[in-house]
Chains A and B, each alone.
Chain A
Amino acid sequence: MTFLFPWVLVGLAAAAIPILLHLVERRQPPERAFPAVRYLEDATRDQRRRLKFRHLLLLALRTLLVVLVVLAAAGARLHRAVPLGAHTPMALVLILDNSASSGAVMDGEPTIEALRTTARAVLERATPSDRLWLLLADGVARPGTAKELLARLETVQVIPDRLELGQAVRQADALIRNAGRRGEVVVVSDAQRSAVSPVEVAADMIVLRPAAVPPRNRAIAVLEAGNQPWGGQGGRVAVQVVAEDTAAVAARLTAGNSPPRDLLLTPGVPSTQRIVLGTPGWHLIEVSLPADELRLDDTRQVAVQVARPAGVTWSSRDRFLDAALRVLIGERRLLEGGGASIGRLGAGPSIVVPPEDPALLGALNRALEARGSSWRYGDVVTAPAQSDSTGLLPERVAVERAVRLVPSAGGRRADTVVTVGGEPWIVRSGDLVLVGSRFEPTWTDLPVRAGFVPLLDALASRVVHGAPALPSTLVGGRLPLPPRVTRVVGAGVDVGVEGGSTWSPPAPGNYWLLAGLDTIGAISTGIDPRESALARATSAELEEAWPGAVVADLTDGASRTFAAGGRGDLRPLLLLLALLTLIGESLVAGRIGRVR
């Protein structure tokens, strides 16, 4: 036992006061002659022993009362939790998992409601001296009093974001460390196995999670339309569903104004569907599953632009380029002959590679400058390097030789399409695309990699059709908007935006990017596929990921919070005992005849 104010213990000497008063009181009564003392003795004889006991009990109660009050005033504490004992002021970060998975219906109501109830119980145990934060799936730690956070708690809704619990726990631990007092991280979550990552936590930690088995869930994990724009002959979409079992799942595919198509998809197995959308323009493709306990992942959309294939010209001496373009022409992705020049700078849209002879770089740069390019070629770099992964070139390619791309007047970093070692390797400037290496194996192994043909397809389409903006992201992720975008419309959203700024899709669905009245792109989003995997981490897995964490059930775990450090403030308990002692003293004193 420790004391906040040990000097107050001097007051324990006051415990002798009742005893002294007791003794003094015995001598004080005035004496009076009274012949019928024998009657007094008779009247009190029966109760004399009981009264003597009560008198001693009264003395004990009064002494105990003084001791209890003094101990409470001294701030007595135990090094462990005590019943009714208020905890010492501490810091607590409550991580409430309102990620997409908490929208899954469990026992007739969304999981978030059960989580909210437990979170409420945790906050109700807080005292005004505690420092509190509420950390939600959006990653924002909200400080506040218990009252404020309780009010905030009532407005918490499921958001389609993913909550990486390990990251949240690390963030909470840092908050507690900076708070300068003992603290506790309380995780109230459905404890998805996919959201748990190992973290070393200094603060005490309690994980409160549902004990019930999570519901079965099926989700559309993938819906991709490949390179765009599509030609009149249509294109292919890749669809993949995930589920806890391998039973085939019925799905419905809707493409533009075409009649819906029923699909039978095997979980975990990608399915490619050919779709013909003859009308040039923008089309919306949607795949949906029958409703289950988690609705957020039952539907997925993707936008597709349909346009005529671009006509291109190239030099047949470039063997690898020739082979790749002929594949694309065979696939009707491109047409032979036309305004776009591939491999050299032409009069129209061009994909430019550096000349074999470095001496010709000057002439090329002058030509580029004449075309108004904001980029030019610089020094030759021969140090081997690898490309950085991008959406256009997911696989990393080796670059043995390159010519550095240097921005000239108006050149921006945002023009970069692919980088090598962080340096621009493929950049776009208007209807020009500059590539840092020639499409030859002595410069780069890109021509012999599988990604070469799709990259050419994308680059050709981009320079010819003005590069449709088709960024892909997960809900909550921030995307840079194309410079010309003025509005974003879709999924219940219609907001004006500033081109070039970043924007975050608030919910799964498709958002059209408008420049005035023209649609110049689309953003298709869905929830993180990992949120669809509702399987929960076991207690052992949680304890292994977060050593020292206490894992408890949602329904009764709140009572274990605020025990960080195990220090129990005995004052409420002592004052309660003092009150009970006072009541007992009053009862005994009321009954006693104070007979000696």
Chain B
Amino acid sequence: MTRPATSAAARPVVRPDLLAPSDVARLGGLEVTTQGVVDGFLAGLHRSPRRGFSVEFAEHRQYQPGDEPRYVDWKLLARTDRLYVKQFEEETNLRAMLVVDASASMAWRGADDRLTKLDYAARLMAALGMVLLRQRDATGLITFDATVRQITPPRVRRGHWHTLARVLGDLQPGTTTAADIALRQVVGALQRRGMVIFCSDLLMDPELTIKALKFLRHRGHDVLVLHIADPAELDLARGEETRFRDPETGRTVTLAPSDWATAYRETVDRVVREWGGACRAAGIHYALITTDMPFGTALGHTLDAR
């Protein structure tokens, strides 16, 4: 008994960016799967009227001692016999900084078939970093929990994505959250106006965080807040009385979810509205991303917000 042959043309095209995040994770490690996600996403993007991040323009600068020889425009040297460097390409592209929350609360998932918020954020940031780098946008990464865990400066060179992917892949959940400290570190990393993508579950002090985000906005950066949430955080699963413990603070609340699902949903909606309202008021883009959302969709939301 043989299985019927299936032609390649008849085989459905699988776009990893539209797969369930957990399915994508099963396909392989972060570095392996991100390529497929981004390729799928960008393929879809070409068929769409959506435009890229950056606007390309060129500028030459006279060579100065200390400039890397690889940026010297040899053709111009041949024609004019003067040394110019193509520094303009790098400096005129977008400089983006990915700020990823790696606190303990991010290492949670509401169901076994879903990624933790941290895993999801890592993959989403890896994909976003790849998209940015393919557009020649210098992309950096800051991970934080109670303190800044690691800073990877924005770079656009080949292989930089692997650096980002390695950092994101090795990311381990920390302790509590202090986003304002990490966001203020961005100021030092982005000397010029750029883009800050803040990826967190926003289970933190809203006032301090909004204040820090406003500060970045004040410095001329475009700020995008990606609010990562597990679906189980948005809707309380009905069930018997449970003692809920905050993995960061250790605080507990005992209640019967069945009795409080409605009130909880209203509270979450209010919180989301407050975050969105506060961000919009400060000129900050805000998007709510749930961990069951395909990465392609999440990237699309991110671009829409942008």
- A residues contacting B by CB (< 8 A) are 25-26, 29-44, 592-596
Contact = CB atoms under 8 A, between A and B. Distances in A.
Contact of A35 (B248, B260, B267): B248
Nearest to B204: A38
A36 B267 CA distance: 11
Interface in B251-265: 251-256, 259-260, 263-264
B265 to A, nearest CB: 9
Nearest to B201: A35
A33 B117 CA distance: 14
B108 interface: yes
Nearest to A47: B263
B203 interface: yes
Contacts of A26: 254
Nearest to A35: B105
Nearest to B270: A42
Given A43-B267, A595-B255, A596-B254, A36 B245 contact: no
Contacts of B108: 33-35
Given A43-B264, A594-B255, A35 B233 contact: yes
B271 A594 contact: no
A225 B106 CA distance: 124
Contact of A38 (B203, B254, B256): B203
Contacts of A595: 253-255, 259-260
A29 B252 CA distance: 12
Interface in B94-112: 104-106, 108
Contacts of A42: 267, 271
B266 interface: yes
B88 interface: no
Task: Report the 6 A-B pairs with minimum CB-CB distance, sorted nearest first.
Answer: A35-B105, A37-B246, A593-B259, A34-B244, A43-B267, A43-B263
Contacts of B271: 39, 42
A31 B252 CA distance: 9
B62 interface: no
A593 B255 contact: yes
Nearest to B263: A43
Given A33-B245, A39-B264, A41-B253, 14 more contacts: A29-B243, A32-B242, A34-B247, A35-B247, A37-B249, A37-B252, A39-B267, A39-B268, A39-B271, A42-B267, A43-B266, A44-B260, A593-B255, A593-B260
B113 interface: no
A35 to B, nearest CB: 4
Contacts of B263: 43-44
B241 A29 contact: yes
Interface centre among A32, A36, A594, A595, by most B CB within 10 Å? A36
A514 to B, nearest CB: 94
Contacts of B104: 35
B207 interface: no
Contacts of A40: 236, 244, 253, 255, 260, 264
23 contacts: A29-B254, A30-B242, A30-B243, A31-B244, A32-B242, A33-B244, A34-B246, A34-B247, A35-B117, A35-B203, A37-B249, A39-B267, A40-B236, A40-B264, A41-B251, A43-B263, A43-B264, A44-B263, A593-B259, A595-B253, A595-B254, A595-B259, A596-B254
